Chain A
Amino acid sequence: KAGVTQTPRYLIKTRGQQVTLSCSPISGHRSVSWYQQTPGQGLQFLFEYFSETQRNKGNFPGRFSGRQFSNSRSEMNVSTLELGDSALYLCASSLGSGGRGNEKLFFGSGTQLSVL
């Protein structure tokens, strides 16, 4: 069973540009979550999509947006890039429904974004 796939692996952009990151979840998983990881702030939750609808949202500005397609693949977009957006962006997938809260997240290897 293929794992979570994130593309591209590395990305270099300049301030003011926009960027789109892609995430393909594990087959059958309907929930896709995005996290930003920086040395200073650690791992911070951006948002979660479940069945094409945003289910949870973290405390990030509106420049950060996402969407999910009918096949559960998800994209994340950052507009008007700032230097502080340089980070590792991790995507995680899970079944996302029911259960007792013990469902684990499966992560991809991330997209390393550098903003110059």
Chain B
Amino acid sequence: AQKITQTQPGMFVQEKEAVTLDCTYDTSDQSYGLFWYKQPSSGEMIFLIYQGSYDEQNATEGRYSLNFQKARKSANLVISASQLGDSAMYFCAMRPISSNTGKLIFGQGTTLQVKP
């Protein structure tokens, strides 16, 4: 069985500072993919970044980077230069690499508030 754990229910960060959102996972699959999504108050889930378990380098997408530590089974999201628009709920998710099905396993989420 797969499980995602996000231990920070809520976090605050000052505008323009960097913030790290924690994600640990558990899986028996040898190959898997890890995703981060952002959910603003509008409800829509917005894809941020992807990391494959086979990727040698940490993923980066603009201000988002993923601190992937396979041995520790952690995939923390780093947001640099926080903006007010980053205030939202953030979800870590995973699926086996074996296929591109629509089934993702999500963590409980972390609510991020950016202070001006």
Contact present for B44 and A101 (CB under 8 Å): no
Report the Cα distance A14→B13, complex, angstroms. 41
A19 sits at the interface (CB 8 A): no
B64 to A: closest C-beta gap in Å: 13
Which of these, B47, B91, B98, B99, contacts A43 with CB under 8 Å?
Answer: B91
Chain A, interface SS category: strand
Chain B, interface SS category: loop
A-B contacts, CB under 8 A, total: 83
Residue-wise, chain A 74-101 has the 8 Å CB interface mask toward B (1 for contact) of 0000000000000010101111111111
Which of these, B46, B102, B105, contacts A33 with CB under 8 Å?
Answer: B102
Contact present for B50 and A104 (CB under 8 Å): yes
Contacts of B98 in A (CB 8 A): 101
Number of B residues contacting the other chain (C-beta, 8 Å)?
29
Contact present for B99 and A104 (CB under 8 Å): no
Contact present for A101 and B99 (CB under 8 Å): yes
Indicate whether A55 sits within 8 Å of B101 (C-beta atoms), given known contacts A101-B33, A101-B96, A102-B33: yes
Report the Cα distance A45→B106, complex, angstroms. 9
Q: Give the B-binding residues of A (Cβ under 8 A).
A: 31-33, 42-43, 45, 48, 50, 55-56, 58, 88, 90, 92-110, 112
Q: Would you mind naming 23 contact pairs between A and B with Cβ atoms under 8 Å apart?
A: A31-B102, A32-B102, A33-B102, A43-B106, A50-B102, A55-B102, A56-B101, A56-B103, A58-B103, A96-B101, A96-B102, A100-B52, A101-B31, A101-B52, A101-B98, A101-B99, A101-B100, A102-B50, A102-B52, A104-B35, A106-B47, A107-B45, A107-B46
